[in-house]
Amino acid sequence: MGRLSLLVSLLSLTDTVFGKWLGETKTVGGKKYQCKCYSDNECFPTPADWAALNKTVGGTLKVTLPPGAPCHDSVGNVSTYNAAACADVQANWVNEQWLTDHPIANLWPLYTNNTCLPTTNPNTPCTRGFYGLYVVQATKKEHIKAGVDFARKRNLRLIIRNTGHDFMGRSTGYESLIINTHTFKDVKFLKKYAGPGNWTGSAATVGAGVQGRELYRQAFAQDPKVVIVGGECPTVGWAGGYIQGGGHGPLTSIYGMGADNVLSFDAITAKGEYVTANAEENPDLFWALKGGGPSTFAVVTSITVKTFPEVAVAGTIVNINSTHTNDTKVFNEGFKIFHNLANHYVKHGMFVYFELSVGRLHIAPFVGPRMDEAKVNEVLKPLFDQLDAAKIPYDKYTRAFPTFFQFYIDMFEDEQPNQNSVVGGRLFTQKDIAENGDKVADALLMASQPTPDIFGFSVGHIVDPGYGVPVADNAIHPKWRNSSSFVITNVIMNGDESWAVKKDRESVQTNIVGKALREAGPDGATYVNEGDLYEPNWQESYWGSKYPQLLKLRKKWDPEGVFYTQTTPGTEDWEVLDYGAKLCKKV
């Protein structure tokens, strides 16, 4: 090939990569942006392109329809009404399992824009809102690779969706291509791990689509019975964003975070390469996937993780609410007494799950691994002594179980999905609680009603991974090793508010609730899976000293920005413009 022919070929390649597939250029607030390709751009794939992708993925590419679509006459030019299917939607709208089994549904729908909800009037307009346009319902790794390659080459926004168990809108994206990994359900248990690293105990290899309760159930069915560190919610996609964010749960105090226990990942990179990441192969990616953020470095298809022998667990449920007192001063004092003992609980290896709203404290439950009923009562004696001395009314219920699984099934409660709220939160360290406990409690009480006309609720997790695993070589924020209480705050919404009101509620979360939490817990941090999308200085707040290395690795493993989830490493120059629609990069 002559020099001129070579130059022409290179120019043609450059046009294909950097011209033909570029979306529109925007200037907003004096900043210039280059966007991903969307349906109103010439670069967007044609029907023939989508048909070719569908052939490549074995017919698993589907046009997306919001879960509420069967209750409406149409979505765009697609007829969707189906009375029987609509009845099924309405019957299951608060059924977590039904929603997580749906190809694209989000359990917390605020960031879908709520523009196609179930209705009894089929004439009600329905749009896709911020859902994607197509979904690959992958059943093979090759389907995931094909989807990643297509999104990368065509400059499309790509969403990796497993269960939709997501507080922060990361499982949805306007006109995106979604890859659904929910069918990857294989689990293989090993009596003895013989792979890289220094672990020689039992282990399990878990597919990306396996959910929390089904994993616990399968672990309990082994002989001998084993446990795996997972979350408290039964439907969380264990091998997806849970692990990549770090992963806390009822056994975290004795066995560390979920990511502390990972031995190996199988994944597909932004370049479409199949990789294994462990202590010997791709150790930098192994490190980053253990807490570096969901959908950030690669698409995880399976994880090999440590398992542990089953343990006896005892626990207590405590309530203080309007059946006990309507005196705000009495209620607030009761909460302070409870929360100010957080360091005491974690120093005994406990995990405590609680819900807080105006006039309601529901602690369900205190979790005492390796404890019997007498030991739990002994550890909790200071709490009840102080409540009694202060004349705080309450009720309690204590039980012991021979195994964690039996405890989990009996004592934990399912959540109700399809609630709308703007999420934030704070991780308070033992130093924060010891030096500033009353101020922390006051900030959390304020979060239940941050303004006279705005209400909130909080979900708390009193936990210290450092109790069982004081040192871990992974991407998780070091503050977790001396943690005491991690609380998720919610500013409640209806979901049908205007864009301006949504932005106002986000500001309340960040600048009123979040500000109070940061001031009360200056030694603390935030958690990437359950935090504020607009957290100030989020890089430091989510990852601390780990962030510079994570940013370096993001540039290595995904230099083109194929993957995107807000406030994860390497997304500083990206923004979603046009009122929550188009993903664009500063240029």
Identify each DSSP E strand in 370-482 by its residue range: 395-401, 421-429, 456-462
| Structural domain spans, the chain | 47-180, 312-414, 416-536
Q: Establish whether domains 312-414 and 416-536 are of one fold.
A: yes
Residues paired with residue 575 on neighbouring β-strands, in sequence order: 584
406 three-class SS: helix
The model's pTM? 0.95
Q: Which CATH number fits domain 312-414: 3.30.565.10, 3.40.605.10, 3.40.50.300, 3.30.70.600?
A: 3.30.70.600
What is the model's pLDDT at position 19? 52
Complete DSSP assignment for 233-262? STT-BIIIIIHHH----TTHHHH--GGGGE
What is the model's pLDDT at position 431? 98
Residues paired with residue 489 on neighbouring β-strands, in sequence order: 424, 458
The tens-digit pLDDT sequence of the chain (587 residues) is 443 343 333 333 333 444 578 899 999 999 999 999 999 999 999 999 999 999 999 999 999 999 999 999 999 999 999 999 999 999 999 999 999 999 999 999 999 999 999 999 999 999 999 999 999 999 999 999 999 999 999 999 999 999 999 999 999 999 999 999 999 999 999 999 999 999 999 999 999 999 999 999 999 999 999 999 999 999 999 998 899 999 999 999 999 999 999 999 999 999 999 999 999 999 999 999 999 999 999 999 999 999 999 999 999 999 999 999 999 999 999 999 999 999 999 999 999 999 999 999 999 999 999 999 999 999 999 999 999 999 999 999 999 999 999 999 999 998 889 999 999 999 999 999 999 999 999 999 999 999 999 999 999 999 999 999 999 999 999 999 999 999 999 999 999 999 999 999 999 999 999 999 999 999 999 999 999 999 999 999 999 999 999 999 999 999 999 999 999 999 999 999 999 999 999 99
Answer whether CATH 3.30.379 is correct for domain 416-536. Answer: no
What is the model's pLDDT at position 289? 98
Q: Which residues contact 229 (CB under 8 A, 6 or more apart)?
A: 247, 249, 251, 252, 255, 256, 257, 258, 260, 261, 305
What is the model's pLDDT at position 240? 84
CA atoms within 13 A on the CB side of 127: 8
